[in-house]
Amino acid sequence: MILLQSHSRFLLQTLLNRIQNSCMHLMFERHVGNSSRVSLEKCIELDHHWVEFDDVRYHVQVSMKNPHILLLSLSLPTPPLETVFVGGLPFGAIEAIKAAYGVIVQILDPPRDGFNLTLKLNLSKLPQDEDQRHTLLVKIASVREVVLGAPLRVILKHLASRTVAPDIDQFVALVHRPNESFFLVPQAEKVTVVFPMRFKDSIDTVLATSFLQEFMESRRTAGLSNAPPCLWSQTPPLELKGVTDDALSANAGFVTFVILPRHVEGRKLDRTVWNLSTFHAYVNYHVKCSEGFMHSRMRRRVESLIQALNCAKPDQEKTKKTPQTRSFKRLNLKDSRTNSSS
């Protein structure tokens, strides 16, 4: 099993490259004194767009006029009707951003057109210590986890203290894919998390169903006794009674996890939040890997069968020589007289 990383590798590499260029720019600026016009010409503009899994879009922009300011915009998956967004973001996202990044990051209001969030990052305020700076950049590259996992983090933090967050409904719908959500049923002693599993391709549906059944059975092994209890069923669990039929439409069944206080203690909270937020992507990744593995096995099998058939072909038989036969030529009257006279 392979777990997805919480940070965007491309975003982290972009930030590291920008920090390196910014340090070179500062050194150059100190050498030339007040000649800032010359030093700005050495800066590199950035304007990158890219999309990651579950339709999360990024935009990074740096201008030559202000090379120490980096604008990071984030577009989230389209939320379904049952989810609750506050100002275009999941509830608790603003507080989570301020707690994670502090004064280094400023939230722009309104965000860039077509995006849910735009952050203004001042590179000159990053820590001087290399390890601390790298840790903070990894946290900035994990902005997806900070934003989308904010509601889940709020609920699980209260679970660690065996309480229920105030003003929380009986069940909470959180977006994790375009127009798709998963559900939380918060209680003081546990939080029940239910994933309706949907796949567009019929082959992916069959593979995912088999994968999830094995996933549930693997929980019973001795080494995973401390893992959250996991259940799979074709029908919605009773905890989701009252949810609309459209929100519960699933062609690969329903996966239920029961999160207990011991699963969110200390550093376990961050890992639990990320694993739950990306569970569908985790399953989809392994389904595609299984499909690719089976295709490669079938291709190798076909190649071996073709090779066996080629070895089984008999050698070409040598052309048989036919015995010489005597032929007769029909002569006319003139030729016959010539032959008789001779």
Question: pLDDT tens across 190-203, in order?
Answer: 999 999 999 988 99
Task: Answer yes or no: are the C-beta atoms of 277 and 152 closer than 8 Å.
Answer: yes
Residue 183 φ then ψ, to 5° = -125, 145
Percent of the chain whose predicted confidence (pLDDT) is above 90: 35
Residue 248, pLDDT above cutoff 60: yes
More confident call, 24 vs 201: 201
Residue 108, pLDDT above cutoff 70: yes
pLDDT for position 316: 58
**Token digits of residue 310:** 């080629």
* pLDDT average, residue stretch 223-241: 86
Judge residue 131's burial from the number of C-beta atoms within 10 Å of its C-beta, 0-12 exposed, 13-18 middle, 19 or more buried.
exposed
Q: pLDDT grade, residue 119 (50/70/90)?
A: very high
* pLDDT average, residue stretch 236-248: 86
pLDDT for position 22: 59
Mean pLDDT is lowest, of 1-5, 25-29, 55-59, 82-86, for 25-29
Q: pLDDT grade, residue 214 (50/70/90)?
A: confident
| Pairwise CA distance, residues 206 & 294, whole Å | 14
pLDDT for position 130: 86
Report the range out of 36-45, 265-274, 307-316 with the highest average pLDDT: 265-274
| SS3 assignment for the chain | CCCCCCCCHHHHHHHHHHHHHHHHHHHHHHHHCCCHHHHHCCCCCEEEEEEEHHHEEEEEEECCCCCCEEEEEEECCCCCCCCCEECCEECCHHHHHHHHHHHHEEECCCCCCCCCEEEEEEHHHCCCCHHHHHHHHHHHHCHHHHHHCHHHHHHHHHHHCCCCCCCCCCCEEEEEECCEEEEEEECCCCEEEEEECCCCCHHHHHHHHHHHHHHHHHCCCHHHCCCCCEEEECCCCHHHCCCCCCCCCCCCCEEEEEECHHHHCCCHHHHHHHHHHCHHHHHHHHHHHHHHHHHHHHHHHHHHHHHHHHHHCCCCCCCCCCCCCCCCCCCCHHHHHHHHHC
Beta strands 172-177; 117-122: pairing state: unpaired
Residue 334, pLDDT above cutoff 70: no
Residue 50, pLDDT above cutoff 90: yes
Q: pLDDT grade, residue 17 (50/70/90)?
A: confident
What global pTM score does this model have?
0.76
* pLDDT average, residue stretch 119-144: 89
pLDDT for position 87: 85
CA 133 to chain centre: 26
**Residue whose pair of structure tokens reads 């030093």 in the numeric block:** 39
Assign domain 9-27+42-291 to a CATH class: alpha beta
**Token digits of residue 187:** 């209680």
Angle at 216 between CA 227 and CA 246, to 5 degrees: 110
**Token digits of residue 24:** 């070179």
Sign of the CA dihedral running 152, 157, 159, 165: negative
| Pairwise CA distance, residues 227 & 232, whole Å | 15
pLDDT for position 23: 57
Q: pLDDT grade, residue 308 (50/70/90)?
A: confident
Question: What pLDDT, in 10s, does the model give residues 84-98?
Answer: 888 889 988 999 999
* pLDDT average, residue stretch 103-116: 91
More confident call, 26 vs 192: 192
107's CB contacts (< 8 A; 6+ apart) are: 94, 97, 98, 117, 118, 119, 120
How many other CB atoms sit within 10 Å of the CB of residue 243?
A: 17
| Pairwise CA distance, residues 18 & 70, whole Å | 9
